[in-house]
Amino acid sequence: MGKTLTQQKRGKGSSTYRSNGFNSVGKTTQIEQKFTRVKDILNCVGHKAPILQLEYENNQRSFSVAAEGIKVGDTLKCGEGAELKIGNSLYLADIPEGVTIFNIEITPGDGGKLVRTSGTFAKVVSKTKNKIIIKLPSGKQKELNPKCLASIGVVAGSGRTEKPFLKAGNKKKTMAARGKYWPIVSGAAMNAVDNPLGGSRSSRKGRPTIAPRNAPPGRKVGMIRPRQTGRNR
């Protein structure tokens, strides 16, 4: 029997997954020139952190993720010669070990992809000639090119998660603004016609939930090729 699974709906362009891009202030990147000034601090429904509106000497403008402690009128620098100051963007090779950083480039020139949500930061763990090892907020370590740019400090808006949503409607609007699927219903709570794990017999269906890594979308539910099964003894 055919089942309309969430895995099969993703990427189809339905309203559930459509992000309202026209509500966003714009694309956020790293500082694009050597000197810039903070013209304004904006709020954007598509981002979880405050956004800086930057104005350069040639009157061009861009947007970047705000650091905690930055205010309107501050001057920021980027690249070689920039001092170790909150909000400045430096190459990873020029950042000492133990310094907190955010908005980190994965490849040189991509504008910043890592550690951009409010209240987060990463740290430089160790440095060699050809690679820089950073510790991400998740605790994992990642090797990056020394020519990648990163901003100094902590992402602003750290108290965002402390404010409760209070009702489901507020959470639904927040997730819809970012094109996120919500609410997420477990397969075991569905009917048998809606998910292979669904049914009304009991909460534990008695069928294996292990799916191969290369299983098709209709079958890829439950545990996806776990490293082990059974109890740890």
Find the domain containing 127 and state its range. 24-160
Residue 74 shares a structural domain with residue 124: yes
**Domains in the chain, number:** 2
DSSP class of residue 66 equals P
Q: The domain that contains 232 carries what CATH number?
A: 4.10.950.10
**Exposed/middle/buried for 22, CB within 10 Å: 0-12, 13-18, 19+?**
exposed
Residue 206 shares a structural domain with residue 233: yes
Residue 62 shares a structural domain with residue 96: yes
> What is the token pair recorded at 189?
């709570």
> Could you tell me where the beta strands, DSSP code E, fall in the chain?
35-42, 51-55, 61-65, 75-77, 89-91, 100-102, 122-127, 132-135, 141-144, 149-152, 210-211, 223-224
Residue 132 shares a structural domain with residue 197: no
Residue 6 shares a structural domain with residue 87: no
Residue 112 shares a structural domain with residue 204: no
- Is 173 a domain residue? no
Please tell me the pTM assigned to this model: 0.76
Per-residue pLDDT of the chain in tens (233 residues, 90 and over written 9): 566 677 777 766 677 777 777 788 888 999 988 999 999 999 988 888 999 999 999 989 999 999 999 999 999 999 888 899 999 999 999 999 999 999 999 999 999 999 999 999 999 999 988 999 999 999 999 999 999 999 999 999 998 889 999 999 999 988 888 888 888 888 778 887 777 777 766 666 656 677 877 888 777 777 777 776 667 76
Q: The domain that contains 43 carries what CATH number?
A: 2.30.30.30
Residue 226: CA count within 13 A, CB half-sphere: 10
Residue 154 shares a structural domain with residue 47: yes
Q: What is the pLDDT of residues 135-157, one digit of tens each?
A: 999 999 999 999 999 999 999 99
Query: Which residues make beta-bridge pairs with 135?
Result: 123, 141
For 48, 91, 133, 233, the CA distances from 77, given in Å and listed in that order, are 24, 12, 24, 55
Q: Is 179 helix (H, G, I), strand (E, B) or coil?
A: coil
Residue 113: the pLDDT is 94
Question: Cα 150–29–170 angle (5° rounding)?
Answer: 105
- Is 168 a domain residue? no
Q: Is 151 helix (H, G, I), strand (E, B) or coil?
A: strand
